[in-house]
Amino acid sequence: MTWQNQLIIWYQNNKRHLPFRETNDPYKIWVSEIMLQQTTVTAVVDYYKRFIERFPDVETLAEAELQEVYKYWEGLGYYRRAKNLHLSAKQIVTNGQFPDTYEDLLTLTGVGPYTAAAIMAFAYHQSYGAVDGNVLRVIARLKAIKSNIMDHVTVKHITSIVNEDISGYDPSAFNQGLMDFANAICTPRNPKCDECPIRESCTAYQQHLENVLPIRIKKVKRTESSFITGIITYEDSLMLVQNSAGLLENLYGLIQFEVDSPYSFIEQFKEAYGVDLIIDCFLDDYKHVFTHKTWYMHAYHFIVNTPDHLPLYSREDIKKLPIPTAHLKIIKNHY
Ligand code: SF4
């Protein structure tokens, strides 16, 4: 059985019952998708019900006063969404019909690629993959994609995979299945691989990379630096280097390189020290603010099997070394 079929079966047995899943009406789906932007499903349900009761179709919404629309949005936040919804409702009524192509949906104010794809799939049953951060994570793991999912090239690549893999399957069940699955099983931290219905098709799982992928590194401003920072261990000792220059001169710190992937880190490390590293898992993201500079540190755990000449320190040694605060936090939490 294909992973898509396994996912859909899982979804049928485990789906969350939500009012906006019980309709094919593009207007109602559009309202729910706009509400779901930046807001959790649980928070949206009651707002959605009240909104649809008062504004059951696009004409009623277009005729309403903006003040009243805001009133029904009160508490949901990001009020620009309500304004855009009202504006687009007027636009739709003027055009005479609800847009029914991906391109036309994108012309509505406040509708981006994700929302347009979701409406195409849920209302019109077209093979469009609605790709958000959750779907990026699942597909990056399933296909062991090692490039940065914050990079638009990776997003494009994953979107094309999803659009290909959805073909021939029920687009609604596939997309909603992926969402619920991402939420319940393939979670950002410690995915529940033991309970996973698509484990056999998951390359990250086979390669023990489920706690490494996806790579998710934000671009930083010029006054900021972004590092991959390594907790590099050999048995119970930790690698630290004494900095000869820079902000942390003379202090002992973790190894870090200004690269955007732990795999580039492994390459740079090999060049610098001639030793191979094995990636174990992603640990956490850290931020440290110096007077004129901010560091973003993406910490990963790496293992060395051949310590050779590497500067490795025991726990006792480390207590005596001067270590900068920026790295002390990471060491305390993960070593
Ligand atoms: S095996 Fe684990 S990492 Fe792979 S899809 Fe399932 S839950 Fe996600």
Each residue of 88-97: pLDDT tens digit?
999 999 999 9
Q: Are residues 37 and 128 in the same domain?
A: yes
- How many separate domains does the chain show? 2
Distance 156 CA to ligand 1 centre (A): 21
| pTM of the entire predicted model | 0.86
Q: Atom 3 of ligand 1 has which residue's CA nearest to it?
A: 210
Q: pLDDT digits over 166-209, tens only?
A: 999 999 999 999 999 999 999 999 999 999 999 999 999 999 99
Q: Catalytic annotation on 53?
A: no
Q: Are residues 306 and 183 in the same domain?
A: no
pLDDT confidence of residue 49 = 97
pLDDT confidence of residue 83 = 95
Distance 306 CA to ligand 1 centre (A): 31
Q: What is the CATH classification number for the domain harbouring 251?
A: 3.90.79.10
Q: Which of 135, 199, 209 to mutate to test the pocket of ligand 1 (most atoms within 8 A of CB)?
A: 199
Q: Are residues 24 and 118 in the same domain?
A: yes
pLDDT confidence of residue 40 = 87
Average pLDDT over residues 243-268: 90
Measured from the CA of 199, which atom of ligand 1 is nearest? 1
Q: Atom 8 of ligand 1 has which residue's CA nearest to it?
A: 186
Tell me whether residue 239 is exposed, middle or buried, using C-beta atoms within 10 angstroms of its C-beta: 0 to 12, 13 to 18, 19 or more.
Answer: buried
Tell me which residues have their CB closer than 6 angstroms to ligand 1: 138, 141-142, 185-186, 191-193, 196, 198-199, 202, 204-205, 210
In Å, how far are 110, 293, 294 from 289, measured between CA atoms?
35, 6, 4
Distance 14 CA to ligand 1 centre (A): 16
Please name which of 161, 228, 239, 155 lies closest in space to residue 201, comparing C-alpha atoms: 161
Q: Are residues 230 and 179 in the same domain?
A: no
pLDDT at 247 over 80: no
Distance CA 231, CA 117 (A): 40
CA 28, distance to chain mean position in Å, is 26
Q: What is the CATH classification number for the domain harbouring 68?
A: 1.10.340.30
Distance CA 182, CA 140 (A): 12
Least trusted range by pLDDT, from 4-8, 40-44, 86-90, 135-139:
40-44
pLDDT confidence of residue 321 = 94
Q: Are residues 174 and 247 in the same domain?
A: no
Beta bridge partners of 148: 215
CA 117, distance to chain mean position in Å, is 18
Residue 196 lies inside a defined structural domain of this protein? no
Residue 36 lies inside a defined structural domain of this protein? yes
Residue 87 lies inside a defined structural domain of this protein? yes
Q: Position 186: which residue type? A: C
Measured from the CA of 196, which atom of ligand 1 is nearest? 6
Residue 211 lies inside a defined structural domain of this protein? no
Q: Are residues 267 and 185 in the same domain?
A: no
Q: Are residues 176 and 33 in the same domain?
A: yes
Q: Are residues 184 and 86 in the same domain?
A: yes
Categorize the per-residue pLDDT at 237 as very low, low, confident or very high, splitting at 50, 70 and 90.
very high
Q: Are residues 237 and 110 in the same domain?
A: no
Residue 228 lies inside a defined structural domain of this protein? yes
Q: Are residues 174 and 289 in the same domain?
A: no
**Segments forming the whole domain that contains residue 295:** 224-334
Q: Position 233: which residue type? A: T
pLDDT at 246 over 80: no
Q: Are residues 41 and 102 in the same domain?
A: yes
pLDDT confidence of residue 157 = 97
Residue 149 lies inside a defined structural domain of this protein? no
Judge contact between 14 and 184, C-beta under 8 A. Answer: yes
CB contact set of 210 (below 8 Å; sequence gap of 6+): 141, 191, 193, 202, 204
Q: Are residues 181 and 229 in the same domain?
A: no
Average of per-residue pLDDT values in the chain? 94
Residue 72 lies inside a defined structural domain of this protein? yes
Strand, helix or coil for residue 6? helix
pLDDT at 147 over 90: yes
Q: Which long-range contacts (CB under 8 A, 24 or more apart) does 252-257 make?
A: 252/313, 252/321, 252/322, 252/323, 253/323, 253/324, 253/326, 253/327, 254/229, 254/230, 254/299, 254/327, 254/330, 254/331, 255/229, 255/230, 256/227, 256/228, 256/229, 256/230, 256/297, 257/227, 257/228
Catalytic hit among 22, 33, 68, 235: 33
Residue 264 lies inside a defined structural domain of this protein? yes
Reply yes or no: is the peptide bond before residue 311 cis, omega within 30 of 0. no
